[in-house]
Chain A
Amino acid sequence: MLIFELPPFAPFLIIAFIVLFTRGRVSSALMLMAPIWGAFNLWQINPQTVWQITLFELQLNPFRIDKLSLIFGYIFHLAAFFSIIYALHVRDRVQQISCLIYTAAALGAVFVGDLLSLFICWEFMALSSVFLIWSRRSQKSFFSGLRYIVYQFISGLLLLIGTLLYWHKNGSIEFSHIEFQGLGATLIFIAFGIKCAFPMLHTWLTDAYPEATPSGTVFLSALTTKVAVYALARSFAGSELLIYIGAIMTCFPIFYAVIENDLRRVLAYSLINQVGFMVVGIGIGTELALNGAVSHAFNDVLFKGLLFMSMGAVMHMTGRINGSDLGALYKTMPKTTVLCLIGAASISAFPLFNGFVSKSMVMTSVLNQEYYGIWLALLFASAGVFHHAGIKIPYFAFFGKDSGLRAEDPPLNMLIAMLIPAALCLAIGIYPNILYQFLPYSHDYSPYDQSHVLAQTQLLFFAALAFVWLNIKGIYPAELHSTNLDFDWFYRRLLPSLWSTLINKIFFVDRFVRQVVLNRLRLILLIIKRFHRPNGIFSNAQTISNMTLSIVIILACYLALSFI
């Protein structure tokens, strides 16, 4: 049907342009067509295709395709497909178009071959995705979106500066492995790090994702961080620093996730946690580890999408998302409950679910490279994931205390959308080779050996036990209405309060100084007036003797000065 090849992002952009002029069911149908057309196009493309543009003396390479980019391309199409189905009922033109452009930009980023083109896609991702947050159309989401876009722009700016410096130093802007030395590379690394939600640079994610629209969050969770993971895998594979960063990323969100009430924010924290596993894999840098990272990214899109969709469905049907407001929804939302449980099992890496087959690759590679401390941290993180994502999410939403809510299962399109990743989760979990054949490096690996399965099952069992015990003892942190701030406390609380304190001080000093100066001025003016007003000393009609006196004084002065 389509003979000519298009770059992968083109179908989405074309559809987005057409959607601009359509409405209702037509635009829904068109949107559904976009990932199908895109996937077909991608499947058709000759893997050796390379497009080049020469801009001044720069060799731009807006389209390059290899196995690493291809797997990300597939999962993005897949994610776009079920996310669009999930959002079929949405009639918001802004969301429709921005999600298409967002996907197109993410696809573009994955298939570019130079850093400048990457920067352009980077900025387009930021610009289009923020509308998915603002589409919630609440004041909270507006400010969250603002903070989000500021972070994204800082990232883009660092990428641009880094690219220029890197170009200046190396004479090339090829988007491939980057030697981690020099300011340029560091800036690029930080730019990727911001998008990848490195610890302390992650706050935009947990801040903004839960504030987006239910369907918008699904897009966001699938694309931005995965593009960053791709970029890291492309440029900084094997950087040891990434191992430690990744390990921290897997661990620290657990604590926040446990005390967080907003279930979508819990998922956002677990997203960072999962990305942490990928970052560790990239940091290890062996073929197995990279395969693990990439496949985990693939699986994460599936199960995280599924979880976000199930929570979105709950939110869509009940209008609430806080754990403290929900509970016992399984009675009226059985299908959603089952789908959510599949997602929870996948993220917790139960054997036979897809999380297991990719996470175990990362864990094995860590052990192979003898990072035992990291391995323990990852084990802890795995238990933590099971706690907050595997148990907490379904427990507080669908089981737990009865909230009295009696919401129905969501509309059919949402159920279908959730069914697709759920099915894939199981399918990949059971036949890992479905996934493995797409991996960038051919590596013979089988996840289902005795030690893996046993270790993971034990881990999960004891983690579940701990949750039950903590809950029965009442030690488990209660679900409370609150806004939990982590690192963003620094700029959302500390900086504003410092700022306002400073401003108050300045105002105070300013007012004081002005008061003093004004008082002095008033006094001076009063004195001036006293002497100069009509009948004042200077302007009074002096008596003749006084006048004579002044003449004599002046004469005396003259003479005195003359004779000195």
Chain B
Amino acid sequence: MSSQLPILQVIIPLISAPLCLIISRPKLVWLFTLIASTISFIISIILIHQVMQSGTIIYSLGDWEAPIGIEYRIDYLNAYLLLIVTGISSIILLSAHTSITAELSHNKYVLFYVLFLLCLSGMLGIIATGDAFNVFVFLEIASLSSYSLIALGKDRRALTAALRYLLVGTLGATFILIGIGLMYMMTGTLNMHDLSERLPNLSESRTLIIAFSFFTVGVCLKLALFPLHWWLPNAYAYAPSVVSAFLAATATKVAIYILLRFIFTVFGIEFSFSILPLQKILLALGLVGILTASTIAIYQNNVKQLFAYSSISQIAYIILALGMNNSTGLVAALLHLFNHALMKGALFLALSAVMYRVGSTQLTDFSGLGKSMPWTMAAIVIGGLSLIGIPLTVGFISKWYMLIASLENNLWPVTVLILLGSILTGIYVWRIVETAYFTTNKTGLNHIKEAPFSLLLPTWLLILANLYFGINPRFTITITKLTAQSLGAMP
């Protein structure tokens, strides 16, 4: 049984999805989904243990050996990402039932869980698989289900947002497919391990460079790197709150995983950073992304949109850290993958609580919430502090590593800009705090109560995780350092 874990990880949510349709009673479906996700979470914990003890796990699907069959490879990076995705999805699912009853029409409840599980299994598949084409397939599963999830939003703008995401996302997927196709053409294999062995011999080839470019641009679109980010804000803003939380915390992380996997494992560091100007591009786009997205966030009037732009800027931080091209930078990027998932998950869950009670996430509707929803607002404040990078929160840990990485490269202007980005973050967080705590509600909505426990519990689980891993980051730092080592970036 335990040797089947890599595939179970993916298969369980995938099979649970159609089963949901059979159960068809919302509350039961919710429980079923939650259990499926939790099982995946438990499996991911076991997997990370196994990886730590016995190294990379190789699992051949249907016992077909690698070149012919599909191979699942779980090393530190996969295990780490699996842990993040399943953990976040399980916690978010805790709140799903309460939240969607307020935001979705009755007949869509079951559909929501089906799509959620499909999306989850798609992401887990992307992470677990060791086959390049398989990545594309799972990416399509995850993407299509997430388009649909976004389209479930009550706001009619959710439909257009989903459509735009669909079109642009498909374009990105096509780019990825072109990249993979070119690689297959050059090497005759789709297995990542084989690719990584054969590609270095072809590093002079123009086709390979084009393959790399198409692939990277496609992935950058998926992870919403700054000038390719247009689809994201509206998609996050108009999707149901649970979906926003789930996608913000996990989807972009998975895209970054693909980038990491292909840069470090498939193409190799030397090809990516030495032959190709990836470092310059990532640094430049990262910096511009941080500053622009943060500045846009300052001017937003919808808090969901504000945090969507904040996500773009935080992703840009990760990209910037990658662009440092040193081991500390990679550790910082990996740390921020985890930490940003914790922050954004908590913040969007808190927003779902606001949405549940107030029915809107316009900034003006936040006035007076500091009094009427103290726990929710406290969660937003702590999450916001984490976002800024105040010590004792996870945000501080990853920002700290980024600063060190930039100083190691003698890029002190970058250091200054990172700090400037933190100041901008402080500004947009302060806007929310100011509205919530220092303005009184003019509309006289005094009946607003604190959010129900089912929403507060997952929010605060994530907030406490923010604080715990901020105070005691030993686990995350150990695992990210091991990951960086396994990716070959660490001596």
Residues of chain A lying within 8 A (CB to CB) of residue B296: 532, 536, 538-539
Partner of A551, one of B228, B281, B299, B301: B228
Residues of chain B lying within 8 A (CB to CB) of residue A563: 206, 209
Please determine whether A548 and B213 come into contact, CB atoms closer than 8 angstroms.
no
Q: How far is the CA of A533 from the CA of B233 in the complex (A)?
A: 13
Closest beta carbon of chain A to B369's beta carbon, Å: 21
Residues of chain A lying within 8 A (CB to CB) of residue B175: 551, 555
Instruction: Across the interface, name the chain B residue whose C-beta is closest to A539.
Output: B296
Check if A542 is an interface residue, CB within 8 A of chain B: yes
Please determine whether A557 and B281 come into contact, CB atoms closer than 8 angstroms.
yes
Please determine whether B299 and A558 come into contact, CB atoms closer than 8 angstroms.
no
Check if B459 is an interface residue, CB within 8 A of chain A: no
The answer to whether residues A528 and B230 also contact, given A554-B220, A558-B281 and a CB cut-off of 8 A, is no
Please determine whether A554 and B227 come into contact, CB atoms closer than 8 angstroms.
yes
Listed residue (B209, B227, B230, B280) with the most chain A CB atoms within 10 angstroms of its CB: B230
Check if A334 is an interface residue, CB within 8 A of chain B: no
Q: How far is the CA of A532 from the CA of B209 in the complex (A)?
A: 35
The answer to whether residues A532 and B276 also contact, given A544-B168, A551-B221 and a CB cut-off of 8 A, is no
What is the interface size of chain A, counting residues whose CB is below 8 A from a CB of the partner? Answer: 26
Please determine whether A532 and B217 come into contact, CB atoms closer than 8 angstroms.
no
Please determine whether A561 and B292 come into contact, CB atoms closer than 8 angstroms.
no
Instruction: Across the interface, name the chain B residue whose C-beta is closest to A550.
Output: B227
Q: How far is the CA of A352 from the CA of B341 in the complex (A)?
A: 109
* B300-346 CB contacts (< 8 Å) to partner A: 300-301, 305, 309
Closest beta carbon of chain A to B491's beta carbon, Å: 28
Q: How far is the CA of A561 from the CA of B273 in the complex (A)?
A: 12
Q: Encode contact with A along B203-218: 1 for CB under 8 Å, 0 otherwise.
A: 0001001101110110
Please determine whether B168 and A536 come into contact, CB atoms closer than 8 angstroms.
no
Check if B23 is an interface residue, CB within 8 A of chain A: no
Please determine whether B309 and A539 come into contact, CB atoms closer than 8 angstroms.
yes
Check if B244 is an interface residue, CB within 8 A of chain A: no
Closest beta carbon of chain B to A534's beta carbon, Å: 6
Check if A1 is an interface residue, CB within 8 A of chain B: no
Closest beta carbon of chain B to A527's beta carbon, Å: 11
Instruction: Across the interface, name the chain B residue whose C-beta is closest to A543.
Output: B164
Please determine whether B168 and A558 come into contact, CB atoms closer than 8 angstroms.
no
Check if A48 is an interface residue, CB within 8 A of chain B: no
The answer to whether residues A541 and B164 also contact, given A550-B228, A554-B227, A555-B213 and a CB cut-off of 8 A, is yes
Instruction: Across the interface, name the chain A residue whose C-beta is closest to B285.
Output: A554
Please determine whether A539 and B233 come into contact, CB atoms closer than 8 angstroms.
yes
Closest beta carbon of chain A to B176's beta carbon, Å: 12
Q: How far is the CA of A544 from the CA of B221 in the complex (A)?
A: 13
Q: Encode contact with B along A32-66: 1 for CB under 8 Å, 0 otherwise.
A: 00000000000000000000000000000000000
Check if B298 is an interface residue, CB within 8 A of chain A: yes
Check if A559 is an interface residue, CB within 8 A of chain B: yes
The answer to whether residues A536 and B299 also contact, given A547-B164, A551-B171, A554-B217 and a CB cut-off of 8 A, is yes
What is the interface size of chain B, counting residues whose CB is below 8 A from a CB of the partner? Answer: 36
Partner of A547, one of B210, B220, B231: B231
Check if B167 is an interface residue, CB within 8 A of chain A: yes
Closest beta carbon of chain A to B136's beta carbon, Å: 18
The answer to whether residues A550 and B230 also contact, given A555-B213, A558-B216, A562-B277 and a CB cut-off of 8 A, is yes
Check if B234 is an interface residue, CB within 8 A of chain A: yes
Residues of chain B lying within 8 A (CB to CB) of residue A541: 161, 164, 230, 233-234
Closest beta carbon of chain A to B311's beta carbon, Å: 14
Q: How far is the CA of A89 from the CA of B261 in the complex (A)?
A: 103
Residues of chain B lying within 8 A (CB to CB) of residue A548: 168, 171
Residues of chain B lying within 8 A (CB to CB) of residue A547: 164, 168, 228, 230-231
Residues of chain B lying within 8 A (CB to CB) of residue A539: 233, 296, 299-300, 309
Closest beta carbon of chain A to B7's beta carbon, Å: 34
Q: How far is the CA of A168 from the CA of B164 in the complex (A)?
A: 89
Residues of chain A lying within 8 A (CB to CB) of residue B206: 563
Residues of chain B lying within 8 A (CB to CB) of residue A480: none
Check if B393 is an interface residue, CB within 8 A of chain A: no
Listed residue (B216, B233, B295) with the most chain A CB atoms within 10 angstroms of its CB: B295
Closest beta carbon of chain A to B242's beta carbon, Å: 23
Please determine whether A562 and B276 come into contact, CB atoms closer than 8 angstroms.
yes
Closest beta carbon of chain B to A561's beta carbon, Å: 4
The answer to whether residues A559 and B210 also contact, given A544-B164, A550-B230, A551-B217 and a CB cut-off of 8 A, is yes
A-B pairs, top 10 by smallest CB distance, nearest first, are: A533-B299, A558-B213, A561-B277, A539-B296, A532-B296, A542-B230, A532-B295, A555-B217, A547-B230, A562-B209
CB<8 Å pairs between A and B, sample of 14: A528-B295, A532-B295, A532-B296, A541-B164, A541-B234, A547-B164, A550-B227, A550-B230, A551-B172, A551-B228, A555-B217, A559-B209, A559-B210, A561-B277
Chain A residues at the B interface, C-beta cutoff of 8 Å? 528-529, 532-534, 536, 538-539, 541-542, 544, 546-548, 550-551, 553-555, 557-559, 561-564
Known: A547-B230, A554-B227. 6 other contacts (CB 8 A): A539-B299, A541-B233, A555-B175, A559-B209, A562-B212, A562-B276
